[in-house]
Structure formats: structure tokens, C-alpha cells
């Protein structure tokens, strides 16, 4: 069995098929990890969801900000954005089954035997893997409860922008969600910066990429979310897998057994 982790799909299903063919993925024996943002902006979000769902226990998914946005639109009537491409999912005959499955996916996946932890945006320097799992579980419990609509109504926002053990309620859940699905630059104390979305050469004053700080443990971190990095970072045991497929870049897979990277070019250049 081989485990492959793949970065942000965002509806790029044809590229996923090509990538899995390139690495000779065998769905009967191999496993697939998806680092969040399965949907939105690309043309085949419904096909991505259906494929991931069909893999059953052979797939591990963590939720990204676009996945949470889809759920907020579906369950809480959140505003659809101009560039959203979610209609096919929302109108699909199997939408309820797919959305319920998505709502039960975690924000963090840790495989102790493999030594890898995966979240969509990363792990803040102030948290260990154990902290991350515990705080992610708090959000997951609400997502899977009858309070999910209230959470989605309160989810959007940039405040608070730093963690405190004293936080409670939706403010606590919002900052946990932002760390795990939206983080790029922060301070050593964990204060988040949300305006900068470009590469490392555009680092805002007083902040640094989250992976540049010493971490509390040695688990290897898989993350997506930050397409401007183009997968190129100098950080030990960190793997940036969002290589901007939906923006005309590429789609990338990491073989967990040997850390080998494989990519296929995007087919989306004509769309953007």
C-alpha cells in the first residue's frame, strides 16, 4: 500500500485523474490524502466530491476554507461569491449525501505510524500536534451537530486574530478554524495576518510564514492553501502541496513513503 497526499483540487478533477494515472494509483490497495479545498473555482467540483466519497476508508480528507464555504452556503444560506462554481453540487440529486459526508470530515488528520500530520493551512507555532487535534475536534463536534447553522453564520471574520485559552463560544471556534484553514503569515506568538496572500517576498512587516518558526514536535506537516508558494519552501519536514492547479499551475502529489513529488500541468489556463 502506498499513501499519496494531493494538494488543493478546487474542482480540477481531470487533472486529478491524470495525476493518479501518473503515480499508478491503485484504488484497491493505495490510499489518498486530500489537503482540503476539494471544491470551488474549478469546473468539476461535483466530480471531485463524488470520487472522494467513492473511495470510502481509502481516502483521508481535511476541510479547507472553500469546503467550509460550500457547507455554509448549503446549510446556512451564506452569500455565493462571484467566482464560486458550486451550483452543480447544490443542484445535484445526491447533494445531501455528499454534503453530509463532507460535513463529517476533520480539520486535522494525524497518522502517528507514518509520522505525518495534515491540515489545510498548517499548524501555528504555538500549538503541538496534540493541541491541534484537540482544538480541531471542538470545531468538528459543532460541524456535526444541530448547531452547525449557527456556527456557519458566525464563521466568517478575522477576529480574534490570536489564540487565547480563555476564548469561548464562536470566537474560539472562529480562530481555530482560521488557523487551520486560512493561515499564511503570523507572529511567533500566533497572531494572524489575513491581508497578504502573495509569496514569501511579500511578507508583511512584523510577521513571518507560519512554518518559519520552531515547532513543538517533529511530525512532518502536509498543507495546501498557499498557491503563491508554488510548493517551494525551505522548511524541514514541511510539504506545501498547493501548486495552483486552478490558477493554471499544476497539481501535485506527495508519496508519503519516500517524500517523492509528482505533478501534472493544469488544464485551467484558458479559464483565468
Domain ranges (residues) in the chain: 3-271
Cell numbers found for residue 136:
480541531
Has domain 3-271 been given CATH number 3.30.110.60? Answer: no
Rounded Cα–Cα distance for residues 93 and 201 (Å): 45
Kindly state the percentage of the chain with pLDDT values over 70.
99
Q: What is the pLDDT of residues 2-18, one digit of tens each?
A: 999 999 999 999 999 99
Q: How sure is the predictor about 84, in pLDDT bands with cuts at 50, 70 and 90?
A: very high
Exposure pattern of 244-259 as b/e (b: 16+ CB <10 Å)?
Answer: bbbbebbbbbbebeee
Give the 3-state secondary structure of residue 3: strand
270 pLDDT higher than 60: no
The set of cell numbers assigned to 121 is 493551512
Give the Å distances, CA to CA, from 46 to 50, 73, 92, 102, 255. 6, 15, 8, 12, 26
CA distance 28 to 1: 9
Asked if residue 114 has pLDDT above 70, the reply is: yes
State the average pLDDT over residues 168-174.
Answer: 98
pLDDT value, residue 191: 98
Determine the pLDDT at residue 272.
Answer: 43
pLDDT above 90 (res 113): yes
pLDDT at 256: 98
Q: Cα separation of 64 and 70, whole Å?
A: 10
Q: What is the mean pLDDT of the chain?
A: 96
- pLDDT for the residue 269: 72
Checking if the pLDDT of 233 tops 50, the result is yes
Please say if the pLDDT value at position 165 is more than 50.
yes
Q: What percent of the chain has pLDDT over 90?
A: 96
Cell of 267: 488544464
State the DSSP string of 126-157: T--HHHHHHHHHHHHHHHTSTTHHHHHHHH--
Q: What is the mean pLDDT of residues 222-241?
A: 96
First to last CA, the chain: 37
pLDDT at 53: 98
Give pLDDT tens digits for 118-160: 999 999 999 999 999 999 999 999 999 999 999 999 999 999 9
What does residue 3 show for φ and ψ, rounded to 5 degrees? -105, 125
The string of pLDDT tens digits covering residues 24-75 is 999 999 999 999 999 999 999 999 999 999 999 999 999 999 999 999 999 9
Amino acid at each position: 500500500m502506498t499513501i499519496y497526499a494531493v494538494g488543493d483540487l478546487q474542482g480540477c478533477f481531470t487533472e486529478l485523474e491524470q495525476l493518479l494515472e501518473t503515480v499508478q494509483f491503485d484504488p484497491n490497495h493505495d490510499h489518498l490524502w486530500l489537503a482540503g479545498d476539494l471544491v470551488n473555482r474549478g469546473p468539476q467540483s461535483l466530480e471531485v466530491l463524488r470520487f472522494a466519497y467513492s473511495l470510502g476508508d481509502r481516502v483521508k480528507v481535511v476541510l479547507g476554507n472553500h469546503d467550509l464555504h460550500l457547507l455554509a452556503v448549503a446549510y446556512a444560506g451564506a452569500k455565493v461569491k462571484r467566482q464560486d462554481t458550486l451550483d452543480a453540487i447544490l443542484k445535484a440529486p445526491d447533494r445531501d449525501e455528499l454534503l453530509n459526508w463532507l460535513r463529517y470530515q476533520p480539520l486535522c488528520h494525524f497518522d502517528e505510524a507514518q509520522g505525518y500530520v495534515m491540515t489545510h493551512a498548517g499548524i501555528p507555532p504555538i500549538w503541538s500536534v496534540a493541541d491541534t487535534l484537540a482544538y480541531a475536534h471542538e470545531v468538528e463536534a459543532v460541524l456535526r451537530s444541530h448547531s452547525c447553522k449557527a456556527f456557519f453564520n458566525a464563521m466568517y471574520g478575522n477576529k480574534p486574530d490570536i489564540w487565547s485559552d480563555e476564548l469561548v463560544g464562536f470566537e474560539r471556534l472562529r480562530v481555530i478554524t482560521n488557523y487551520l484553514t486560512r493561515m499564511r503569515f503570523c507572529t511567533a506568538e500566533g497572531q494572524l495576518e489575513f491581508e497578504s496572500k502573495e509569496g514569501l517576498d511579500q511578507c508583511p512587516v512584523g510577521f513571518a510564514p507560519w512554518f518559519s518558526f520552531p515547532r513543538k514536535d517533529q511530525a512532518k506537516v502536509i498543507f495546501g492553501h498557499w498557491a503563491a508558494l508554488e510548493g517551494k519552501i525551505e522548511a524541514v519536514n514541511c510539504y506545501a502541496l498547493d501548486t495552483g492547479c486552478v490558477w493554471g499551475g499544476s497539481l501535485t502529489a506527495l508519496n508519503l513513503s519516500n517524500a517523492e513529488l509528482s505533478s501534472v500541468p493544469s488544464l485551467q489556463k484558458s479559464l483565468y
